[in-house]
Amino acid sequence: MKRTHYCGSLRKENTGQKVVLEGWVNRRRDLGGLIFIDLRDREGLVQVVVDPDSPAYAAADAARGEYVLRVSGIVRERPAEQINEQLASGEIEVVAESLEILNEAETPPFAIDASWRGEEDPAERVSEDLRLKYRYLDLRRRGMLDRLRLRHRVIKAIWDFLHAEGFIQVETPFLTRSTPEGARDFLVPSRLEPGKFYALPQSPQLFKQMLMVAGVDRYFQIARCFRDEDLRADRQPDFTQLDMEMSFVDQEDIWELNERLVAHVFKEALGVELPLPFPRLPYSEAMERYGADKPDTRFGLELRPADELFASSGFNAFKSVLESGGVVRGLLAPASLSRKQLAALEETAKRHGAKGLAWVKIGPDGLSGPLAKFLEEAALRGWGAVDGQTALFVADRWNVALEALGQVRLALADMLNVERSGWNFLWVVDFPLLEWDSDQELWTYMHHPFTSPYEEDIPLLDSDPGKVRARAYDLVLNGSEVGGGSIRIHRIELQKKMFQVLGIPAEEAEEKFGFFLEALRYGAPPHGGIAWGLDRFLALMSDAGSIRDVIPFPKTQSGRDPLTNAPAPVSEEQLAELHLKIVE
C-alpha cells in the first residue's frame, strides 16, 4: 500500500476516492467514541475520522502527537455545517479504513502543530537555542518549511534565468588557498604535507576570474563561502553567495543583467513585479543624502549640509570642526522629540563615532534647546525647518558625521514608526577605489585589490589616490547590502600599479597570488562580476529577523551548532595524523 496523495493536497474533487496517506499526527481529538486526527505532511493537514467500530480504531486510540501514521480510507465531503474554512482541505475528511503506526514519537520539546492551523505560532517565541538544538522539529513548522521552499524556488529561478542567458555553472574548490577578501580564513590542516594548510574559500573570487581567462565567458555558482569573523544577525561563518562573472562587459551590462535576474526571481518566487531599471546612486550622494552606503530609500528624512548654519555661529564645538576641515550635517525630525528620545538618538550617534548630537527645536515661540542661542531662527527656517520639528546635527570628519547621522536617521525612523514598505532596490555606484587606513598609515582597497578604477581616474593614483573612483558597485535592498561586485583589473601593468599604491611589495604579491598574476599574462579578457549574499536576500524576501531563519542548520552567535555540538574536540590519533598539537 503506497501513498496516493499528500494530506494537504486533498480537495473536494477527491470525494469518493480511496486514498493512502502518510504523515505525522498534528493533533488528535478523542470524543470518547469518534477520534479525529489531523494528519500532516509538508503540503498541509487533512482531518481523518476514525469510527469506534472501524478496524483502525485501536491504533488511532494509541496514536499521540507527532506519531508517524499510514492511513487508508475514503475521502468524504463534509456536511455544510462541518466545513472548516481555516483548512485548505476543510471541505472534506478522510474516513479511515485502516491505520498503521509507522513510528512513535516522544512529546516534542516545543509546540510545532499550531502553525499548520493558521494561528499565531507559539514556537516563534521559543528560545532560538532550543529550536536549533531540535532543528529537525523546528523545520516541521510551516513557517520554516515555507522558507526552505522559498530558498529552493529562488535558486531554481536563478538557474533557469542564467542558463537561458548563456551562463555555465562551475564548481570551484573548497580546499584551496586563502583568497584576498580580507577576512580571517578557516584553515584545514594538510595530512600529506605536515605544517601546511588549505584555506576554505572566502569567495570564489580568483577562480571565477581565472574561468574568464579560460574563456568560460559567463560563469555562475551557488557558492558556499567561509569567513572566520564574529557573527551577527546577518552574518554566519559559512554562508551562500550567488557568484557570477562575465567577460567583455562593462558595469552597465552587469547591472542590466542583474536587474532582470532580480526581477525574474521576485516574479517566480514571490509573484512580485519589480519596476526596472533600479536607481543608480553614486556613493558620495548616498552618503550625503542617507549617511549610508546601503541606504534605506523606503522613507525620506534625508540628511542635508549644515556647514553654513554654523560657519559664523558662536557654537565653537562645531566651528572648530569646520575650521579643521570637518563638516556639519543635519537632519530634520518631523516631531518635537522628548529628552528621552534625544538621549537615545545621541547614544546611537556616539556608538557610531560621533562626539555628540546637537539639537534645536523650532516652534511658534522660536527656538529652544541647547543650540537655540547659537542659531538665528530665520537662518534655520531658511535651511528648511518648520514649526514642530527638531533639527539634529553632527559635526565631524565627512564620513564620521554622515555615518553617525545616517544611523540616527534609521533610529529615528524606528522611533517615529515611519512607514517602511515595499522593495526598494538600488545600485550604489562609483565607490572610492581606496580608503585611508589611519592605523596602518596607508591606502587600502575598499572592495578588493583586483577592482578596476575608472580609466580616466588612473592618473590620480599617484596624485590623489582618495579621489580615484572604482568601477565597483553594491546592490542594495531596503537598507541592506545584498550584493557587491566590480569590473576587475585584467592588465598586469595596472595590477602591479595597484599593489604599488597599496604598499604591497612585489615579492609579497607574488608569494600570495602569483598563480593568479601569471594567469593575467595569458590573455585575460576584460571582465567583471558580482556576488549576491543569498542568505540576506532570502531573509529580506521572507521577512525573517535574521539569516539564521533561512539557513537550515545555522550557528549561534558564538559559532556553535547546538544540534551537533560543533565545534568539538578530536582524538589524539586524529591530531597526530594531521601533525597538530594543542597548545594551551
Partner RNA sequence: GGCCCCGUGGUGUAGUUGGUUAACACACCCGCCUGUCACGUGGGAGAUCGCGGGUUCGAGUCCCGUCGGGGCCGCCA
Residues of this chain, 389-418, that bind RNA according to CB under 7 A: none
Rounded to the nearest 5 degrees, what angle is found at the Cα of 32, between the Cα atoms of 31 and 38? 40
Q: Which helix (H) or strand (E) holds 157?
A: helix 142-164
Considering the complex, state which of residue 234 and residue 256 has its C-beta at the smaller distance from RNA. 234
Distance CA 97, CA 324 (A): 86
Least distance to RNA from the beta carbon of 71, Å? 15
> For residues 530 and 244, is the Cβ–Cβ distance under 8 A?
yes
Least distance to RNA from the beta carbon of 375, Å? 30
Considering the complex, state which of residue 27 and residue 355 has its C-beta at the smaller distance from RNA. 27
Distance CA 549, CA 298 (A): 24
Considering the complex, state which of residue 309 and residue 533 has its C-beta at the smaller distance from RNA. 533
Three-state secondary structure of 287-334: HHHHCCCCCCCCCCCCCEECHHHHHCCCCHHHHHHHHCCCEEEEEEEC
Instruction: Choose which of 312, 324, 463, 558 interacts with RNA (CB under 7 A).
Output: 558
Considering the complex, state which of residue 107 and residue 312 has its C-beta at the smaller distance from RNA. 107
Considering the complex, state which of residue 315 and residue 537 has its C-beta at the smaller distance from RNA. 537
x-or-dash pattern for RNA, window 280-309, by CB under 7 A?
-------------x----------------
| Interacting residues with RNA between 415 and 434 (CB under 7 A) | 431
Considering the complex, state which of residue 105 and residue 148 has its C-beta at the smaller distance from RNA. 105
93 contacts RNA (rule: CB under 7 A): yes
Applying CB under 7 A, which part among 48-56, 186-194, 389-397, 494-502 lies near RNA?
Answer: 48-56
- Could you give the angle at which helices 283-290 and 398-415 cross, rounded to 10 degrees? 50
Distance CA 554, CA 543 (A): 17
Considering the complex, state which of residue 385 and residue 433 has its C-beta at the smaller distance from RNA. 433
With residues binned 3-state (H G I as helix, E B as strand, rest as coil), the percentages for the chain, rounded to 5, are 35, 25, 40
Least distance to RNA from the beta carbon of 446, Å? 5
Instruction: Choose which of 70, 447, 471, 527 interacts with RNA (CB under 7 A).
Output: 447
Applying CB under 7 A, which part among 102-110, 374-382, 457-465, 508-516 lies near RNA?
Answer: 102-110
Considering the complex, state which of residue 372 and residue 502 has its C-beta at the smaller distance from RNA. 502
| Interacting residues with RNA between 330 and 389 (CB under 7 A) | 351-353
Distance CA 548, CA 551 (A): 5
Does the N-terminal peptide bond of residue 180 adopt cis geometry, omega within 30 degrees of 0? no
Q: Where are the alpha helices (DSSP H) in 5-141?
A: 57-62, 128-133, 135-138
Least distance to RNA from the beta carbon of 225, Å? 9
Rounded to the nearest 5 degrees, what angle is found at the Cα of 553, between the Cα atoms of 219 and 264? 40
CA dist list (Å): 495 to 203, 336, 446: 20, 54, 15
Instruction: Choose which of 88, 130, 188, 415 interacts with RNA (CB under 7 A).
Output: 130
Applying CB under 7 A, which part among 159-167, 274-282, 493-501, 550-558 lies near RNA?
Answer: 550-558
Binding residues with RNA: total (CB under 7 A): 71
Which residue, 188, 198, 189, 185, is CA-closest to 228?
A: 185
Considering the complex, state which of residue 127 and residue 571 has its C-beta at the smaller distance from RNA. 127
The residue written with cell numbers 601533525 in the block is: 579
Least distance to RNA from the beta carbon of 168, Å? 24
Q: How many residues does the chain have?
A: 584
Considering the complex, state which of residue 193 and residue 414 has its C-beta at the smaller distance from RNA. 414
Distance CA 543, CA 532 (A): 18
563 contacts RNA (rule: CB under 7 A): no
Least distance to RNA from the beta carbon of 389, Å? 27
| Interacting residues with RNA between 199 and 238 (CB under 7 A) | 202, 227, 229-235
Applying CB under 7 A, which part among 180-188, 310-318, 501-509, 518-526 lies near RNA?
Answer: 180-188
SS3 485: strand
Least distance to RNA from the beta carbon of 349, Å? 12
Q: Which three cell numbers stand for residue 291?
A: 549617511
Considering the complex, state which of residue 64 and residue 579 has its C-beta at the smaller distance from RNA. 64
110 contacts RNA (rule: CB under 7 A): yes
Distance CA 472, CA 531 (A): 12
Distance CA 274, CA 266 (A): 7
Least distance to RNA from the beta carbon of 410, Å? 10
Applying CB under 7 A, which part among 103-111, 139-147, 207-215, 318-326 lies near RNA?
Answer: 103-111
Least distance to RNA from the beta carbon of 249, Å? 19
Considering the complex, state which of residue 391 and residue 457 has its C-beta at the smaller distance from RNA. 457
Rounded to the nearest 5 degrees, what angle is found at the Cα of 421, between the Cα atoms of 128 and 123? 20
Neighbours of 98 (CB within 10 A): 14
446 contacts RNA (rule: CB under 7 A): yes
Least distance to RNA from the beta carbon of 506, Å? 23
> For residues 448 and 429, is the Cβ–Cβ distance under 8 A?
no
The residue written with cell numbers 492551523 in the block is: 117
x-or-dash pattern for RNA, window 8-47, by CB under 7 A?
-------------------x-xxxxxx-x-x--------x
Count the helices and strands in the chain (H runs, E runs).
17, 22
Q: Which helix (H) or strand (E) holds 415?
A: helix 398-415
